[in-house]
Chain A
Amino acid sequence: MIDLSILINNLDTYLEGFKNTVLSSIIALIGSFILGVIIAIFRISPLKPLNWIGTAYVEFIRNIPLLIITFFFFIGLPALGLTLSGFVAGTIALAIYTASFIAEAIRAGIQSVPKGQMEAARSSGLTYLQTMTKIILPQAIKIVIPPIGNQFINLVKNSSILGIVAGLDLMYFGDIVSSTTFVTFDVYIFVALFYLVLTIPLSLGVGYLEKRLARNH
């Protein structure tokens, strides 16, 4: 049977890790969303240089393992004179990595809005930026909520990367509890449960939003 005393005796340790996982996930979630929207707009921008930057970002970042991006911020940047803690390095890497997936989801959403809408808005005298923010994006958001929701769930789980760079998250303290109690299986079952506490509400929330927005259509 699962040994509950492990959870009880190490509750403070688990909660400290849980707190940092929540914090890192929230920061990375907001950061990746903002960055993702900007990159998506770059990717579909009619300006060639912006377009090129957006495409390069997505193709580079999306195709590199998150672990390597994290090591770049944790071990690579200090060589250039900037030292970031494991928590900061991991969170930035998480935001940058997830942004590439969010950018792709948003791009697909924007491009699924019929071209005629852009043409109609532009010929009514709206600028490109106005058309984007007032006409295209509000429609695209509805389409992209399910895929973005998936990315957010992935982000919470991927935050376990912090454990590798001493980012003091749930996984890091899970490893430490496991190495001080000599119990592996039970310790990680509790770690998994803490992740579920975060991801199940997120998953249900995305499902709810999806339904509500579908009704508005």
Chain B
Amino acid sequence: MFMSKSKKIAGMVLLSATLLLSACGGDGSKETSGTGGKNALEQIKEKDKIVFGVKHDTRLFGLKNPSTGEVEGFDIDISKEIAKEILGDESKVEFKEVTSKTRIPLLNNGDIDAIVATMTISEERKKEVDFSDVYFDAGQSLLVKKGSAIKGIEDLKKGTKVLAVKGSTSAVNIREKAPDTTVLEFENYTEAFTALKSGQGDALTTDDSILYGMADQDSNYELVGGTFTEEPYGIAVKKGNAELVDAINDALKKLKENGKYDEIHSKWIKTN
């Protein structure tokens, strides 16, 4: 009786120790494999393919069209143009779905070469990844049902429920700017918007660029109060890849000069 119990416990301890050890081992090997060898730009040129992490659930930026199976949006078109500049052909681009939560881990794992996924450049994130120049200027705003008592951020009081997306800067910002309000975070924009529509919150907050897409989809909802933050979107690459950042910046500059950028911008974003 006593023996079997202590054996069981010993077994359990051993098992958990093995799990922890194997976990650490996995982490270590990833880091070494990532840094060794050629730089990211050379690697991309060698495999003649660039993998972008993009959103699949964000109207106007990266949205999977269910009838064609293609992902469409501003981020997608920009990615294709960048691939064209770097590799000479826009068909050498590959897209992988990311969310606000998964994009940095996927980048650091080497699953994707760059993130083009409505990602705001922030000091915090600069510690984790390298950013290109700004490729889109957004600002955080509020989406409410038409006729709502909420007219701007000053109406967010104690007891007001604001919906946001996990891992987004808007969730952090809203807690700072309206500290008394309750913030509920969801997996993605679709779920947050569905929750707003079913009355689980009073307002939804994120970048105006994304909110325009939602208002475009359901005219019962509108943006209120203008923007209260500046959210410059950047393209993120793994830390320490200056060559790739430069190549992306050159491509962006070219797009802005030859008018391609404005063309893509006005194709997707229709400001009132």
Contact = CB atoms under 8 A, between A and B. Distances in A.
B186 A166 contact: yes
A166 B184 contact: yes
A192 to B, nearest CB: 9
Interface stretch (A20-28, A99-107, A109-117, A175-183): A175-183
Interface string A1-29: 11000000000000000000000000000
Interface stretch (A74-82, A130-138, A140-148, A152-160): A74-82
B198 A83 contact: yes
A78 B199 contact: yes
Given A78-B199, A83-B200, A86-B200, A176 B185 contact: yes
A74 B23 contact: no
B185 A175 contact: yes
Interface string B1-45: 000000000001000000010011001000000000000000000
A172 interface: yes
B172 interface: yes
Contacts of A74: 195, 198, 200
What class of interface size applies to chain A in its complex with B? 20 to 34
Nearest to B100: A179
Interface string B185-229: 111000100110011100000000000000000000000000000
B115 interface: no
B198 A75 contact: yes
B248 interface: no
A86 B184 contact: yes
Given A86-B184, A166-B185, A78 B128 contact: no
Nearest to B186: A166
B166 interface: yes
A189 B23 contact: yes
A164 interface: yes
Contacts of B167: 175, 178-179
Nearest to A168: B184
B105 interface: yes
Contacts of B191: 164
Given A164-B191, A178-B101, 8 more contacts: A2-B20, A74-B195, A75-B194, A76-B198, A78-B200, A166-B200, A176-B185, A182-B104
A75 B186 CA distance: 13
Interface of B: 12, 20, 23-24, 27, 100-101, 104-105, 124-125, 128, 163, 166-168, 172, 184-187, 191, 194-195, 198-200
A162 B164 CA distance: 16
A184 interface: yes
A185 interface: yes
Nearest to A175: B166
Nearest to A89: B200
A86 B195 CA distance: 10
Contacts of A182: 104, 124-125, 128
Contact of B185 (A75, A85, A172): A172
Contacts of B195: 74-75, 165-166
Which 3 A-B pairs have CB atoms at the shortest separation, nearest pair first?
A: A179-B167, A78-B198, A166-B184
